[in-house]
Amino acid sequence: MPKAGSTSRIPRRTALAGLSAGAALLAMPRLGRAADETIRIGFPTPLTGPFAAEARDQVKCAELAVKLVNDKGGIGGRKVELLVRDDKLNAGEAATRTLELIEKDKVHAVVGALSSAVQLAVNEVTRARGVIYVSISQSDTINEAKDFSKYTFHEALNPHMTTAAVARQTLKKGMKVAHLVADYAYGHEMLRGFKRAQAAIGADSVGEILHPFGAADYSTFMPRLMSMRPDVLCISNFGRDQANAIKQAVDFGVKQQMKIVVPVILHNQRLAVGPDVFEGVVGGANYYWGLETQSKSAASFNAAFKAANGGAIPTDYGAYGYSGVGSLLAAMQAAGGTDTDKVIDALEKLQYDLTKGPQHYRKCDHQSVQSVLVLESKKKSAMAGDNDLFAILANDNGSDDMLRSCSELGHAT
What distance in Å separates the CA atoms of residue 143 and residue 332, rounded to the nearest whole number?
22
* Cα 365-163-119 angle, rounded to 5 deg: 45
- Residues whose CB falls within 8 Å of the CB of residue 251, separated by 6 or more in sequence, listed in order: none
pLDDT digits (tens, 9 = 90+) for 55-114: 999 999 999 999 999 999 999 999 999 999 999 999 999 999 999 999 999 999 999 998
Contact 351, 138 (CB under 8 A): no
Query: Has residue 25 got a pLDDT over 60?
Result: no
How confident is the model over 241-253, as a mean pLDDT?
95
- Please tell me the predicted confidence (pLDDT) of residue 14: 41
Query: Has residue 24 got a pLDDT over 50?
Result: no
Lowest-confidence segment of 6-10, 25-29, 329-333 by average pLDDT: 6-10
Share of the chain above pLDDT 70, in %: 91
What distance in Å separates the CA atoms of residue 153 and residue 161, rounded to the nearest whole number?
16
Query: Has residue 1 got a pLDDT over 70?
Result: no
How confident is the model over 243-250, as a mean pLDDT?
96
**Is pLDDT larger for residue 7 or for residue 49?**
49
pLDDT digits (tens, 9 = 90+) for 320-366: 999 999 999 999 999 999 999 999 999 999 999 999 999 999 999 99
What distance in Å separates the CA atoms of residue 134 and residue 136, rounded to the nearest whole number?
7
Query: Has residue 384 got a pLDDT over 80?
Result: yes
pLDDT digits (tens, 9 = 90+) for 140-193: 889 999 989 999 999 999 999 999 999 999 999 999 999 999 998 889 999 999
* Cα 270-274-279 angle, rounded to 5 deg: 80
C-alpha torsion angle, residues 323, 325, 327, 329 (rounded to 10): -150
In this structure, how many other beta carbons lie within 10 angstroms of the beta carbon of residue 384? Answer: 8
Burial 386-400, CB ≥16 within 10 A → b, else e: eeebbeebbbbebee
CA distances from 116 to 78, 136, 137, 258, 331 (A): 32, 9, 6, 29, 24
| pLDDT band (50, 70, 90) for residue 200 | very high
- Please tell me the predicted confidence (pLDDT) of residue 133: 98
* Cα 42-47-51 angle, rounded to 5 deg: 115
Share of the chain above pLDDT 90, in %: 84
pTM for the complete prediction? Answer: 0.89
pLDDT digits (tens, 9 = 90+) for 297-315: 999 999 999 999 999 999 9
Contact 388, 289 (CB under 8 A): no
- Please tell me the predicted confidence (pLDDT) of residue 28: 41
